[in-house]
Amino acid sequence: MKDTAAVNSGFSTSMKTLHWAAAVLVLLMLYGGFTISRETATLHFGFGLIVLALMVVWLATKGRAPRPAFPAMPRWQEIAAKAVHHSLYASVTLQPIFGLMMVTTSKRDPVAFNVIPLKIAQNDTINSIGRELHEINAWILTALVAVHILAALYHHFILKDNVLKRMLPFAKS
């Protein structure tokens, strides 16, 4: 039996802040990645570094802040929710790492925010592997984000539970 107080409690302010910062950045990065140009690449590279730093903070903080219990739901939904969340953590963390594999070994001289040089040494093999993994993972990440958003909306509008409210910045759950 789940503790009702734990089920009804929301996430901490720090976890909400990290969640929404990551959400905005990931959505911008996905859009930017699928529409990237030479002019926007420097921003894409820079924000990728920020996403990686944010995920390090997120993963370090996540272990210290207890997650509110899931509301009553079928076991398969709880397993699916955990699988999607863990897959999101992995995918969002790996995406900038794959991007770094690609840009640090590029033939070009990539720069983040027009100031941070990223090239370490040209290596066509690592570059090719990084490019392929970055692209595949972008599609996986897109699917996971879509499932995550749809599940939150399903809980809010169909099940009318507090799953979405407990992560909203100013909502009382």
Which residue do the tokens 């925010």 mark?
113
CB hemisphere CA count around 148 (13 angstroms) = 19
Q: Which domains does the chain have, with CATH numbers?
A: 4-167 (1.20.950)
d(CA 156, CA 160): 5
d(CA 42, CA 102): 14
Print pLDDT tens along the chain (173 aa): 343 344 446 888 888 999 999 999 999 999 999 999 999 999 999 999 999 999 999 988 887 877 888 888 999 999 999 999 999 999 999 999 999 999 999 999 999 999 999 999 999 999 999 999 999 999 999 999 999 999 999 999 999 998 999 999 887 75
Smallest CA-to-CA distance from 142 within 104, 100, 91 is with: 91
Helices (DSSP H) in 104-165: which residue ranges? 124-153
d(CA 162, CA 166): 6
User: What's the full length of the chain, in residues?
Assistant: 173
Smallest CA-to-CA distance from 97 within 105, 86, 109 is with: 105
